[in-house]
Amino acid sequence: MSEAPYKLELIALEGVPLVNAGDNLSAIVVEALARSGLTFAECEVLVVAQKIVSKSEGRLVRLATVEPSPRAREISRIVDKDPRLVEIILRESREVLRMRAGIIVVEDVRGLVLANAGVDASNANADGGDESVLLLPTDPDASADRLRDELRTRTGVDIGIVINDSIGRAWRNGTIGTAIGVSGLPALLDLRGERDLFGRALRTTDLGLADEIAAAASLLMGQAGEGRPLILARGVPYDRREGSAHELLRQKSLDFFR
Amino acid sequence: MSEAPYKLELIALEGVPLVNAGDNLSAIVVEALARSGLTFAECEVLVVAQKIVSKSEGRLVRLATVEPSPRAREISRIVDKDPRLVEIILRESREVLRMRAGIIVVEDVRGLVLANAGVDASNANADGGDESVLLLPTDPDASADRLRDELRTRTGVDIGIVINDSIGRAWRNGTIGTAIGVSGLPALLDLRGERDLFGRALRTTDLGLADEIAAAASLLMGQAGEGRPLILARGVPYDRREGSAHELLRQKSLDFFR
């Protein structure tokens, strides 16, 4: 690992507009960067809120267009949710792990374990309706790769991308910013080669680097709006390589808590 | 909530010495702060690595002094660990949740759910022996309160304190920096009063603020040593209040994944 710097800066890009389906995210980023008086440098990481990625990709679904299955109707009675919303959550999921009033914990089609498959009814109705919900990007790693490629073309600089979302955890209260898409940096740092101060191999074998970056950026994004969905992280210590948010997903067979 | 700033800075304090039992942490912080050419300002947060708190509090235990119970011997065969280490882990725990080779997931005496009760065999033998392990602070909130009080006395500034440790999670690979002790700031931000861009109440009711700060600081601390155990966070947006890491602990009765 390269020598770590001693300072980390997180800067919210200014004046990001509301994003709609079909908008080009890389153009929005470059404009916001200029408006903020900033330029990219190698090894910087841009953290992008899932909501604007999903919106640009048209992942808004109108509930009126959804016909709930019998299973969705049954679950909707258990969890006290709109059966059309439950239908969408089931379509976005591989497996339902737990449910109770208001919440369905699933493994989603991307392999994430999270509440309600990340389907979000807040800040979603940019089309003016009040009955739309926003789904996670179909393939957040691919979304991150695409944005990175386009930004490299537009700016000449190859930065890292993390797409984050606020996700709940087992055992602990509160959501935290979590990496759902990664491009151009390791999501997981393997520390097995590292030695402690006394020369012993460390017991901890890996560090959730992209999750820590996602959490750090979330501190500036806030929850109540979309005003700060783009955070530039300067000084994150890592060695450049290709990466994927899948590195962070524990295999089901190795997971105690399913 | 006060208006959020748009920039967050994390700065590793320089030249922190190896910490030993009985050392005064506040004196070490003030010296490192001066060496780094920095001063504190209100609402800044100092993130302190658990290891130096534990060491200053003398939480190092020599395995040679530990007599394993029959239960510890039995578990040691299942998890393939030194029975004396298992004995220490059991003494630090309220309940064993899961075990397999190399790992015992517990609810510890502090209420944290984590592997091996946070008992750490790396970087622990400051006494020269190679058979010592380091336990978490007995009461990390109290440790944070004490450090905050002493720093207020020494510097005249009332900052927030987060004590962090690298902790594993359900479902996801990699440890991340996590708040185990908090003083002078909210650990959990209640967002129930907040409205989204379209005036609807947000579904997500709270944000793990201190955990996000702990994760952000962990990016600079690294895992392999103790060179950067003190990270000053400037620009974290929060409204001042008293806080506790207990806010982050989900009640067992509300937890799906025990």
CB distance A130–B169 less than 8 Å?
Answer: no
Number of domains in chain B: 2
Reduced to 3 states, what is the DSSP secondary structure of residue B125?
Answer: coil
In a shared domain, residues A72 and A192: no
pLDDT band at B126 (very low <50, low <70, confident <90, very high): very low
- From the list A9, A173, A194, the residue facing B248 with the nearest CB is A173
The number of C-alpha atoms within 13 Å of A78 and in the hemisphere containing its C-beta is 13
pLDDT tens-place string over residues A210-247: 999 999 999 999 765 557 999 999 999 988 999 999 99
Please provide the DSSP assignment of A72-110 as one string. Answer: HHHHHHHHTS-HHHHHHHHHTEEEEEEEETTEEEEEETT
Supply the pLDDT for residue A24.
Answer: 98
pTM of the prediction?
0.93
CB contacts of B216 in chain A (<8 Å) are: 8, 10, 212, 215-216, 219
One-letter amino acid at B152 equals R
Cα–Cα distance between A140 and A161 in angstroms, integer? 11
Evaluate if residue B129 carries a pLDDT over 80: no
Find out whether A150 and B179 touch, Cβ atoms under 8 Å: no
Which residue in A2, A130, A173 has the most chain B C-beta atoms within 10 A of its own C-beta, making it the best mutation to test that interface?
A173
In a shared domain, residues B36 and B85: no
In a shared domain, residues B186 and B81: no
> Within its chain, how far is the Cα of B208 from the centroid?
14
Evaluate if residue B123 carries a pLDDT over 60: no
**Shortest Cα distance, chain B CAs vs residue A173, angstroms:** 5
Which residue blocks in chain B are alpha helix, DSSP H?
A: 25-35, 50-56, 70-79, 83-91, 140-155, 209-221
Cα–Cα distance between A191 and A6 in angstroms, integer? 19
Which residue in B7, B8, B20, B127 has the most chain A C-beta atoms within 10 A of its own C-beta, making it the best mutation to test that interface?
B8
CB distance B171–A250 less than 8 Å?
Answer: yes
Tokens of A213: 């970056």
Cα–Cα distance between A3 and A239 in angstroms, integer? 9
CB distance B225–A196 less than 8 Å?
Answer: yes
Closest CA to B231 of B12, B7, B6, B2: B12
Mean pLDDT of B87-112: 96
**Shortest Cα distance, chain A CAs vs residue B131, angstroms:** 12
CATH code for the domain in which residue B108 is found: 3.90.1660.10
Evaluate if residue B4 carries a pLDDT over 50: no
Cα–Cα distance between B84 and B82 in angstroms, integer? 5
pLDDT band at B24 (very low <50, low <70, confident <90, very high): very high
pLDDT tens-place string over residues B65-77: 999 999 999 999 9
Cα–Cα distance between B102 and A88 in angstroms, integer? 40
CB distance A215–B220 less than 8 Å?
Answer: no
Q: Which of A117, A134, A151 is the last residue of a domain?
A: A134
Residue located via tokens 């005249």? B156
Region at B251 (left for phi over 0; alpha for psi -120 to 50; beta for the rest) = beta
CB distance B122–A169 less than 8 Å?
Answer: no
Mean pLDDT of B248-257: 89
Domain containing A113 equals 60-134
Supply the pLDDT for residue B5.
Answer: 47
- From the list A171, A198, A209, the residue facing B255 with the nearest CB is A171
In a shared domain, residues B152 and B203: yes
In which order are the strands placed within the sheet that holds B7-12? A176-183, A160-167, A45-49, A230-234, A7-12, B7-12, B230-234, B45-49, B160-167, B176-183
In a shared domain, residues B222 and B155: yes
* Domain-located, residue B4: no
Q: Which residue of A has its CA nearest to B213?
A: A216
* Domain-located, residue A68: yes
Q: Which residues contact B199 (CB under 8 A, 6 or more apart)?
A: none
Cα–Cα distance between B47 and B160 in angstroms, integer? 9
Supply the pLDDT for residue B253.
Answer: 85
Cα–Cα distance between A121 and A132 in angstroms, integer? 7
In a shared domain, residues B84 and B171: no
Residue located via tokens 């899948």? A246
Closest CA to A229 of A8, A32, A21: A32
Supply the pLDDT for residue B80.
Answer: 93
Find out whether A177 and A164 touch, Cβ atoms under 8 Å: yes
Max CA pair span of chain A: 63
Find out whether B72 and B90 touch, Cβ atoms under 8 Å: yes
Cα–Cα distance between A239 and A186 in angstroms, integer? 8
CB atoms within 10 A of CB B185: 26
* Domain-located, residue B204: yes
Chain pair A-B, CB pairs under 8 angstroms: 244
Mean pLDDT of B170-196: 88
Q: Which of A78, A111, A134 is the last residue of a domain?
A: A134
* Domain-located, residue B193: yes
Supply the pLDDT for residue B191.
Answer: 72
Q: Which of A106, A134, A162 is the last residue of a domain?
A: A134
pLDDT band at B130 (very low <50, low <70, confident <90, very high): low
In a shared domain, residues B145 and B224: yes
Cα–Cα distance between A51 and A224 in angstroms, integer? 12
In a shared domain, residues B88 and B36: no
pLDDT band at B198 (very low <50, low <70, confident <90, very high): low
**Along chain A (258 residues), what's the average pLDDT of each consecutive run of 10 residues?**
69 94 98 95 96 97 96 96 96 96 94 95 55 96 98 98 96 97 95 60 75 97 76 94 96 86
CB distance B14–A8 less than 8 Å?
Answer: no
CATH code for the domain in which residue B188 is found: 3.30.1330.100
Evaluate if residue B180 carries a pLDDT over 60: yes
In a shared domain, residues A52 and A160: yes
A172 secondary structure, DSSP code: B
In a shared domain, residues A105 and A68: yes
CB contacts of A218 in chain B (<8 Å) are: 207, 212
Select the more confidently predicted residue: B48 or A226: B48
**Shortest Cα distance, chain B CAs vs residue A67, angstroms:** 23
What sign does the dihedral A144-A150-A154-A160 (CA atoms) show?
Answer: positive
Mean pLDDT of B140-162: 98
